[in-house]
């Protein structure tokens, strides 16, 4: 009975999902849909024995951490030749006519601007979803893709092959993208540059519940499989549509060059009205027999080409140029433009990057300039309309003094920007550093925004981050826009910030090049601020992900007496200068000493060291008679290895070490499953191909090609 009801609900939800998301023809209300979904979720929770990875309930996602296994594509995912020139596109069409001796029909499709995906179906159920990766192997993102409403989990209709792959694009519609960026802005997080990056980033999210909320879409444009029962691409896509896939209805079969040109001309402007991003048109030979005749080059089919649209441009007047000084003293020229509509938004400002770029384009105030929106959020100026230049125009002379404090600007070797070196006395730098210190990912001090920090600075109450901890409510309350209540709230949230973990304090100091991730690595490696301060350049580069440039910046920062004074006052204020004690996971390695050397596939050196300590072992820096094990990775020095061999130290590979730990912890009870979560945010392990597949024979090409 219950089992039957579960099946019934799954079928009904699948059907309503399709009617809503694919056919745009819902038959029931959202409310009714939610009620059915809730009933299914409850029944499934009560009957885990009838779980199904393709149940429509997986659309809501889960908070379990996704691991992205590397999977080899059954049929390689090739790329396409592309061109920005109609002339080259015509050459392509001519070549096809020549080689096939016919007026071959071509399918013209939109080129969707997202991230490529390959879906594998077996017996009509979604088995796997894999990213393009390098074309030969990609990441298994099945759990995340299952949450995308337009990806059918089970096929409808009939005639689908027992096993096939279907390829397409995962897209983030503009509406989802705008919503996501609005949320990020509200949370003080950096904005995503464009829907393409947002789609790719979302697919790699650790939690499929997050993916489910992001509103991704999936459009399919190619089937690959052995012995597919179709004669042409258009026939294959029609079948895919009948099986429940979302297939674009914008595709047109064209017989002549003129028809292809007309398709392109139409979509070059009409695409602005589409709810998702496109960046060109793909032209493909429709007939499969002709495709086979045309064949492939080393990396792309000879029967298809992508024509890319030029980025949208607008012409407007450059009214004036401002110079912004950032917290590091870097000066950025910014253009004030006569407002102009570009790719859906009104543009008023654009970056001019630096003096060199401006000189190269010979940009002058009063010029008519071309603005373009590239992959970045901020539009840029790409050229000057010289014909429209006023007769009295003079070359622009770049500033040589800080627009804020008048200090002569300097250039550092290898840096394109000018810098104001007056760190201690230049207002935007001082305020910028304080704002950095209080930001969410640093000390996370609520109630203090840019305006308030400016107010505090201008009233002589703070000149650096450590001054914040001396503030008293009665000093704040009389300031404009504040009052007693917010004064107390601010002081309270400053007090709470002393609880922030050490790595966030380290990040908050604003040392050049020490971002959030580097701060985590430094904290994991050195454990205390005193150890970071005492470390030499050579010792600093020992930490994961710390290179010479970062090491120099750290040494420079602590060499400055003013910075050291700030640090000491922060210490007195009670900020955390020490990483939290590592939780002991087991005694599996108690009494054993290790040396870690070389590079490893699955762990960083610091991760291995942390594992050793958390399981009761000891890390030693050098090979000596006191060492029990040497865990040896790639590129380790031959002298070390030799010495270890001579001393009779056991040498372990990374896998052998993992096995040793595994054996130890199993004998020792508490499971080691917590290892991953306890570590600083490392990029998700992508896994490595198994040896059989990595060395395997060349992948087959789908029968289609
Ligand atoms: S066909 C072997 N069709 O563009 C050719 N690709 O530049 C398979 N793309 O990797 C691709 N829209 O991610 C094809 N209608 C479309 C497309 C499309 C977007 C992407 C795809 C591909 C890239 C090549």
In the chain, ranges of CATH 2.40.50.140 domains: 312-388
Please give the order of strands across the beta sheet that includes 163-171.
125-131, 115-122, 163-171, 217-224
CB 350 near ligand 1, within 6 Å: no
User: How far is it, in rounded angstroms, from Cα 545 to Cα 330?
Assistant: 24
What CATH number labels 593-683?
3.40.50.10190
> Does residue 700 have a pLDDT over 50?
no
Once rounded to an integer, what is the mean pLDDT over residues 377-397?
89
Q: Left, alpha or beta for 295 (phi > 0: left; psi -120 to 50: alpha)?
A: left
In the chain, ranges of CATH 1.10.150.20 domains: 445-499, 502-573
Q: Does domain 70-302 have CATH number 3.30.470.30?
A: yes
- Least confident range from 513-522, 566-575, 676-685: namely 676-685
| Centroid of ligand 1 to alpha carbon of 144 (angstroms) | 21
CB 80 near ligand 1, within 6 Å: yes
| Centroid of ligand 1 to alpha carbon of 698 (angstroms) | 22
CB 65 near ligand 1, within 6 Å: no
> Does residue 72 have a pLDDT over 70?
yes
Residue nearest (by alpha carbon) to ligand 1 atom 21: 116
What CATH number labels 2-55?
1.10.287.610
**Confidence label for 688 from pLDDT (cuts 50, 70 and 90):** very low
E strands within 137-288? 137-139, 163-171, 217-224, 252-254, 278-285
User: How far is it, in rounded angstroms, from Cα 19 to Cα 24?
Assistant: 6
E strands within 42-162? 70-72, 82-83, 106-112, 115-122, 125-131, 137-139
Once rounded to an integer, what is the mean pLDDT over residues 368-383?
82
**Confidence label for 63 from pLDDT (cuts 50, 70 and 90):** low
In the chain, ranges of CATH 3.30.470.30 domains: 70-302
Once rounded to an integer, what is the mean pLDDT over residues 456-478?
96
Residue nearest (by alpha carbon) to ligand 1 atom 12: 111
Within 10 A of 304 (CB to CB), how many other CB atoms are there? 22
> Does residue 244 have a pLDDT over 90?
yes
| Centroid of ligand 1 to alpha carbon of 281 (angstroms) | 9
**CA proximity to 140, closest of 149, 131, 148:** 131
CB 382 near ligand 1, within 6 Å: no
> Does residue 474 have a pLDDT over 70?
yes
Residue nearest (by alpha carbon) to ligand 1 atom 7: 80
CB 131 near ligand 1, within 6 Å: no
Question: Which atom of ligand 1 is found nearest the CA of 116?
Answer: 13
| Centroid of ligand 1 to alpha carbon of 358 (angstroms) | 36
User: How far is it, in rounded angstroms, from Cα 115 to Cα 203?
Assistant: 9
| Centroid of ligand 1 to alpha carbon of 253 (angstroms) | 17
CB 610 near ligand 1, within 6 Å: no
Label the pairing between strands 629-632 and 650-652: parallel
**CA proximity to 373, closest of 279, 448, 233:** 279
Q: Does domain 445-499 have CATH number 3.30.1490.190?
A: no
What CATH number labels 312-388?
2.40.50.140
> Does residue 65 have a pLDDT over 60?
no
What φ, ψ does residue 545 adopt, rounded to 5°? Answer: 65, 10
pLDDT score recorded for residue 678: 32
Question: Residue 278's Cα: distance from chain center in Å?
Answer: 20
pLDDT score recorded for residue 186: 76
> Does residue 526 have a pLDDT over 50?
yes
Q: Which residues pair with 410 in a beta bridge?
A: 419
CB 137 near ligand 1, within 6 Å: no
Active site residue 111: yes
Once rounded to an integer, what is the mean pLDDT over residues 279-296?
94
> Does residue 49 have a pLDDT over 50?
yes
What φ, ψ does residue 118 adopt, rounded to 5°? Answer: -120, 120
Q: Which residues pair with 85 in a beta bridge?
A: none
| Centroid of ligand 1 to alpha carbon of 280 (angstroms) | 10
Residue nearest (by alpha carbon) to ligand 1 atom 17: 111
pLDDT score recorded for residue 5: 94
> Does residue 112 have a pLDDT over 50?
yes
Please give the order of strands across the beta sheet that includes 106-112.
82-83, 304-308, 278-285, 106-112, 252-254
First to last CA, the chain: 48
pLDDT score recorded for residue 621: 81
> Does residue 24 have a pLDDT over 80?
no
CB 111 near ligand 1, within 6 Å: yes
CB 222 near ligand 1, within 6 Å: yes
User: How far is it, in rounded angstroms, from Cα 303 to Cα 291?
Assistant: 6
Q: Which residue out of 111, 246, 417, 520 is catalytically annotated?
A: 111
**CA proximity to 437, closest of 518, 504, 487, 527:** 504
Question: Residue 114's Cα: distance from chain center in Å?
Answer: 13
What CATH number labels 502-573?
1.10.150.20
| Centroid of ligand 1 to alpha carbon of 80 (angstroms) | 7
- Number of residues in the chain: 705
* Residue 427 CA neighbour count, 13 Å, CB half: 14
pLDDT score recorded for residue 377: 67
Residue nearest (by alpha carbon) to ligand 1 atom 9: 111
Mutate to test the pocket of ligand 1, among 169, 200, 248, 298 (most ligand atoms within 8 A of CB): 169
| Centroid of ligand 1 to alpha carbon of 110 (angstroms) | 9
CB 82 near ligand 1, within 6 Å: yes
**Confidence label for 344 from pLDDT (cuts 50, 70 and 90):** low
CB 78 near ligand 1, within 6 Å: yes
**CA proximity to 466, closest of 501, 507, 508:** 508
CB 37 near ligand 1, within 6 Å: no
Within 10 A of 425 (CB to CB), how many other CB atoms are there? 14
CB 584 near ligand 1, within 6 Å: no
**HEC sequence for 562-630:** HHHHHHHHHHHHCCCCECCCCCCCCCCCCCCEEEEECECCCCCHHHHHHHHHHCCCEECCCCCCCCCEE
> Does residue 689 have a pLDDT over 50?
no
Once rounded to an integer, what is the mean pLDDT over residues 586-600?
90
Once rounded to an integer, what is the mean pLDDT over residues 148-156?
95
In the chain, ranges of CATH 1.10.287.610 domains: 2-55
For residue 140, the 8-state DSSP code is B
Q: What is the pLDDT of residues 160-209, one digit of tens each?
A: 999 999 999 999 999 999 899 888 877 767 777 788 889 999 998 888 88
| Centroid of ligand 1 to alpha carbon of 111 (angstroms) | 6
> Does residue 703 have a pLDDT over 70?
no
> Does residue 281 have a pLDDT over 60?
yes
Mutate to test the pocket of ligand 1, among 111, 217, 245 (most ligand atoms within 8 A of CB): 111
pLDDT score recorded for residue 619: 87
Q: Give the angle 415-325-453 at the CA atoms, nearest 5°.
A: 140
Question: Which atom of ligand 1 is found nearest the CA of 251?
Answer: 15
Q: What is the pLDDT of residues 253-267, one digit of tens each?
A: 999 999 999 999 999
pLDDT score recorded for residue 236: 96
């Amino acid at each position: 009975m219950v089992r039957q009801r579960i099946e019934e609900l799954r079928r009904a939800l699948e059907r309503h999902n399709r009617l809503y998301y694919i056919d745009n023809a819902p038959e029931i209300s959202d409310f009714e849909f939610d009620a059915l979904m809730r009933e299914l979720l409850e029944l499934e929770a009560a009957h885990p024995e009838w779980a199904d990875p393709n149940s429509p309930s997986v659309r809501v996602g889960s908070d379990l951490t996704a691991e992205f296994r590397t999977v080899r594509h059954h049929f390689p995912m090739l790329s396409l030749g592309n061109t920005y020139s109609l002339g080259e596109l015509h050459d392509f069409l001519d070549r096809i006519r020549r080689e096939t001796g016919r007026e071959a029909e071509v399918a013209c499709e939109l080129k969707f601007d997202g991230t490529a995906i390959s879906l594998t179906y077996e017996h009509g159920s979604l088995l796997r979803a894999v990213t393009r990766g390098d074309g030969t192997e990609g990441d298994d993102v099945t759990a995340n893709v299952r949450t995308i409403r337009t990806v059918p989990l089970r096929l409808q209709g009939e005639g689908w092959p027992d096993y096939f792959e279907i390829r397409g694009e995962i897209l983030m519609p503009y509406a989802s993208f705008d919503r996501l960026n609005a949320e990020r802005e509200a949370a003080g997080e950096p904005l995503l540059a464009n829907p393409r990056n947002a789609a790719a980033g979302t697919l790699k999210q650790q939690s499929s519940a997050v993916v489910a909320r992001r509103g991704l879409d999936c459009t399919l444009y190619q089937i690959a499989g052995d012995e597919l029962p179709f004669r042409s691409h258009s026939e294959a896509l029609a079948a895919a549509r009948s099986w429940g896939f979302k297939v674009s209805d914008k595709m047109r079969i064209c017989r002549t060059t003129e028809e292809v040109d007309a398709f392109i001309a139409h979509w070059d402007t009409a695409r602005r009205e589409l709810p998702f991003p496109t960046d060109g048109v793909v032209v493909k030979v429709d007939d499969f027999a002709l495709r086979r005749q045309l064949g492939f080059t080393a990396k792309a089919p000879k029967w298809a080409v992508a024509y890319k649209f030029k980025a949208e441009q607008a012409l407007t007047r450059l009214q004036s140029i401002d110079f912004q000084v950032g917290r590091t003293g870097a000066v950025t020229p910014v253009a004030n433009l006569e407002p102009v509509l570009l790719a859906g938004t009104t543009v008023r400002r654009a970056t001019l990057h630096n003096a060199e770029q401006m000189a190269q384009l010979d940009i002058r105030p009063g010029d008519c300039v071309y603005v373009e929106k590239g992959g970045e959020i901020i539009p840029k100026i790409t050229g000057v309309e010289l014909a429209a230049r006023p007769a009295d125009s003079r070359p622009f002379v770049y500033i040589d003094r800080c627009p804020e404090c008048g200090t002569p600007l300097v250039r550092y070797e290898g840096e394109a920007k000018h810098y104001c070196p007056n760190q201690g006395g230049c207002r935007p730098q001082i305020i910028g550093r304080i704002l950095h210190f209080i930001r969410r990912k640093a000390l996370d001090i609520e109630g203090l925004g840019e305006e308030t920090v400016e107010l505090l600075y201008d009233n002589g109450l703070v000149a650096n981050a450590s001054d914040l901890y001396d503030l008293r409510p009665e000093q704040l309350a009389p300031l404009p826009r504040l009052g007693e209540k917010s004064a107390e709230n601010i002081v309270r949230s400053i007090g709470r910030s002393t609880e922030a973990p050490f790595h966030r304090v380290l990040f908050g100091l604003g040392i050049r090049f020490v971002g959030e991730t580097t701060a985590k690595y430094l904290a994991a490696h050195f454990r205390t601020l005193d150890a970071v301060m005492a470390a030499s350049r050579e010792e600093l580069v020992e930490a994961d992900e710390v290179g010479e440039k970062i090491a120099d910046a750290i040494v420079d920062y602590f060499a400055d007496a003013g910075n050291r004074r700030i640090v000491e006052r922060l210490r007195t204020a009670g900020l955390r200068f020490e990483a939290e004690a590592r939780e002991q996971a087991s005694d599996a390695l108690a009494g054993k000493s290790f040396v870690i050397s070389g590079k490893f596939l699955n762990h960083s050196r610091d991760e291995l060291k942390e594992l050793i300590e958390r399981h009761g072992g000891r890390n030693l820096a050098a090979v000596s008679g006191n060492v029990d094990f040497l865990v040896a990775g790639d590129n380790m020095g031959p002298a070390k290895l030799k010495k270890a061999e001579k001393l009779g130290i056991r040498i372990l590979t990374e896998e052998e070490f993992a096995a040793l730990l595994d054996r130890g912890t199993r004998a020792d009870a508490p499971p080691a499953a917590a290892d991953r979560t306890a570590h600083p945010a490392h990029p998700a392990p992508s896994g490595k191909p198994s040896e059989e597949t990595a060395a395997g024979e060349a992948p087959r090409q789908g029968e289609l090609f």
